């Protein structure tokens, strides 16, 4: 994840860190959403991240406390529902931001892959 001498990181030549996981048992609602995170870049302060994430179908609780995320959905279909029941559905090609303080559920309806950019708030 080294940035070039000119301060630019080209994703094309990067072999990202890969981590496979499942949501924590206390957050999992349904399914077996095996997730693959391929973090391409993390800044020196650990407050800015970008890469690719994919998930099998399933539903789990999320809480964006202290971070914000930009997502560009490359494949699949996902649905986010906040704790008040407001639902947002996104398909391949859609771009969206999840702001700090969002609390609710993330459901991967169809196998999905996204490009993500995460910023830790207040870092």
Q: Where are the domains of the chain?
A: 16-120
**Is 2.60.120.10 the CATH number for 16-120?**
yes
* pLDDT tier at 13, thresholds 50, 70, 90: confident
Mean pLDDT, the chain, rounded, equals: 94
CB 108 within 8 A of CB 29: no
* pLDDT tier at 11, thresholds 50, 70, 90: confident
CB 70 within 8 A of CB 43: no
> What's the pLDDT tens digit per position in 41-100?
999 999 999 999 999 999 999 999 999 999 999 999 999 999 999 999 999 999 999 999
Model confidence at 1: pLDDT above 70: no
């Amino acid at each position: 994840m080294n940035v070039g001498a000119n301060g630019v990181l080209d994703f094309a030549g990067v072999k990202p860190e890969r981590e496979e996981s499942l949501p924590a048992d206390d957050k999992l609602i349904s399914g077996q959403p095996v997730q693959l995170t391929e973090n391409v870049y993390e800044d020196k302060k650990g407050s800015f991240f970008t890469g690719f994430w994919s998930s099998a179908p399933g539903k789990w609780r999320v809480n964006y406390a202290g971070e914000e995320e930009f997502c560009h959905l490359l494949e699949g279909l996902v649905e986010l529902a906040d704790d008040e029941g407001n639902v947002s559905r996104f398909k391949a090609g859609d771009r969206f931001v999840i702001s700090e303080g969002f609390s609710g559920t993330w459901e991967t309806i169809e196998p999905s892959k996204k490009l993500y950019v995460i910023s830790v708030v207040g870092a």
